[in-house]
Amino acid sequence: MSTTYSCDLNTLMQLSTCYGDKCMGRVDRNAVIIWARIKNLAALGGTDYSNNVAQLMIDARQWVVRAHDELEQIATYLAVQNAINDGASLSGTPNSIITAAKCATIDCMGRTQQEGIMSFLGCAITTQVKPE
């Protein structure tokens, strides 16, 4: 399945204008992301929470009480697993992965660079056709 966008930054900046601070705040952006993920999950054949947010709250109850750093640790693990599931050669212990990723640490780039690169790579990965 192909995507309906590319990762051209100028185009994305234009298309995403009303998702920025001029039109909505962080809380509204989070709501849009949650709603998009509800619809995305349903489109992939998962549970459709569109008309049952109460069930979503029940199903996510253990997640919403976790600390931010715990959710980040899970997101990091999922990023590694998604790369492996997509065919990447990425294995070993977390320490060996950190060693392999050394130039993506603060030693080689700042936090702003890390965040921008993560967004760019997320976009680039999302627009790829998944191998079968």
Condensed to tens digits (0 to 9), the pLDDT of residues 82-104 reads: 999 888 998 789 999 989 898 88
Please say if the pLDDT value at position 59 is more than 80. Answer: yes
Q: Residue 41: how many CB atoms within 10 A of its CB? A: 15
**Residue extents of the structural domains in the chain:** 1-65, 67-132
Reported as a pLDDT band with limits 50, 70 and 90, residue 131 is low
End-to-end CA distance of the chain: 12
In the chain, % helix, strand, coil (3-state, to 5) comes to: 60, 0, 40
Cβ-based neighbours of 128, under 8 Å, separated by 6 or more: none
pTM for the complete prediction? Answer: 0.82
Condensed to tens digits (0 to 9), the pLDDT of residues 35-52 reads: 999 999 999 999 999 999
